Amino acid sequence: MIDFKNKKVVVVRIGLLGRGVGDAKWLAKNGAEVLVVDDAPKEVMQPSVDALKDYSNVKFKFGQYDFADFKNADFVLVGAGAPLDLPVLKACREAKMVLKQSAVWFAELSSIPIIGVTGTRGKSTVTHMIHHVISQLTGEKVLLGGNIRGVSNLCLLDEVKEDSLCVMELDSWQLQGWGWSQASPQIAVFTNFMEDHLNYYQTGGRSKEEAMELYFADKANIFKYQEESGTLVTTPEVFERAKKLSGISLGQEIRLVDGSVIPEDILLSMPGAHNRINAAMAFEALKAVGLNDEEIFEGLASFPGVPGRLEYLGEKQGVKIYNDNNATTPNATIAGLKAVGNKDDKNIILIAGGAYKNIDPTLLIDEIDKYCKQLILLPGTGTDRLTESLQNLSINRKVLEGDIGGVVMQEAVKAGLAAGQPGDVLLFSPGFASFGMFKNEYERNDEFVRCVDETLHEDQPSFTEKV
């Protein structure tokens, strides 16, 4: 473990989700001199400032980045989503400064085995499946980190024991950090690879193909530096793409997954063929840990699902309600429609829409036509693109207006339920990002859940009325 006393650490983009704040707090508790720099306005970042007000060894600077604030740092901790070509980070690399992301830094400082999970879709579900099964079997606390809401990876260091194991959900930004450190988890799961984050990678005049190559290169860090004793669990499609990368030997154990891995008689609580593939990914990773089939299938059968991923919220007047907030691409929404929809009855009322991510929504149009009786669209640049392509469809649709997320979401839920009949499904699966109307996808998720909860309970009599 590094002695952080008096070490100078610059934290770039601390964020508002709690992870960056936790990392800064852990560094400060361990004696580091922390400078938080963020190009967001101070008034926006005030909650993070307030959370660290008790630490005199944490300073803040907001506004344009200045390399002078970095050049004497022992470490630069880069928050997720820092722009790909941020000039100040380029200057840091040229000066051979030590750049870190918190997930890989945890792995290096803890030296415990890591099961890492990435992929365009399914990584959260597979991560939680693996964590659930191991926790159920061992009865001991298995650490859960990476891209987990509100969880600081550095704070997890305080929970590490000699025999600890950590399961980490790793997005492409965090995997950049694994690439900087030339490290990979001992067990790597790569669920799939689809178009996403083109608004991030397709900058500087890059073509879509060039952007996808950069995106895959970041994802590939999950297996690129594995030793021969490591294990990569993935699909044949991802493996074929991986073999085309230069400078990779792929000498580790490879476990390829398809739908046949999970027998048809194994029941899962989460609907959809894609979730059986997710379970197959988790199964192979758990086999690599040393668990047997019976143990794994028993654990998977009791897995309750993940919030925001085809999460069943309840039923009102015969209409089942599912929260698929984390479906932020058209392909993800298509998977949700297929999981809970019925083409014969067109039984879905779909709430969708949001901010454009440079991903063509055309493929979604046909599936909306097959499965949906009603379409309710939240405002946003992605919605504008989608409505242009919907002109030839006769489906009932309502495009909402407004810029207050909670108000618009309440209207969407009420309109969706009003359009439903017994046997229908109200599915919130946006297909686009949350930028603009909400601070982030977590706030959008919470607003939908809140609105549904209020709607489900609005007709229930109060205690005094019952009396």
CB 173 within 8 A of CB 146: no
Domains recognised in the chain with CATH numbers: 8-100 (3.40.50.720), 103-301 (3.40.1190.10), 311-457 (3.90.190.20)
Residue 53 has pLDDT above 90, yes or no: yes
Q: What is the pLDDT of residue 188?
A: 98
Rounded-to-integer distance, Cα 259 and Cα 273, Å: 8
**245 pLDDT band (50/70/90 cuts)?**
very high
Q: What is the pLDDT of residue 459?
A: 61
Rounded-to-integer distance, Cα 101 and Cα 121, Å: 22
Q: How far is CA 147 from the centre of its chain?
A: 6
**Helix 273-289 vs helix 123-138: angle between axes, to the nearest 10 degrees?**
50
Closest CA to 120 of 247, 226, 274, 341: 274
Residue 270, CA distances (Å) to 204, 287, 341 in order: 40, 21, 14
Q: What is the pLDDT of residue 465?
A: 40
Rounded-to-integer distance, Cα 322 and Cα 320, Å: 7
Q: What is the pLDDT of residue 149?
A: 87
For the stretch 336-373, pLDDT in tens is 999 999 888 899 999 999 999 989 888 899 999 999 99
Rounded-to-integer distance, Cα 274 and Cα 334, Å: 11
**13 pLDDT band (50/70/90 cuts)?**
very high
Give bridge partners of residue 377 from the DSSP assignment.
352, 399
Residue 199 has pLDDT above 90, yes or no: no
Output the six-digit token pair for 449: 């859940």
**460 pLDDT band (50/70/90 cuts)?**
low
Mean pLDDT of the chain, nearest integer: 93
Higher-confidence position of 80 and 346: 346
- Of 244-253, 429-438, 458-467, the poorest mean pLDDT is in 458-467
Higher-confidence position of 150 and 282: 282
**463 pLDDT band (50/70/90 cuts)?**
very low
Residue 464 has pLDDT above 80, yes or no: no
Cα angle value 335/298/294 (rounded, 5°): 115
Q: What is the pLDDT of residue 249?
A: 85
**462 pLDDT band (50/70/90 cuts)?**
very low
Residue 239 has pLDDT above 90, yes or no: yes
For the stretch 121-158, pLDDT in tens is 999 999 999 999 999 998 788 999 999 988 999 999 99
**Helix 102-110 vs helix 172-180: angle between axes, to the nearest 10 degrees?**
50
Output the six-digit token pair for 427: 């599915």
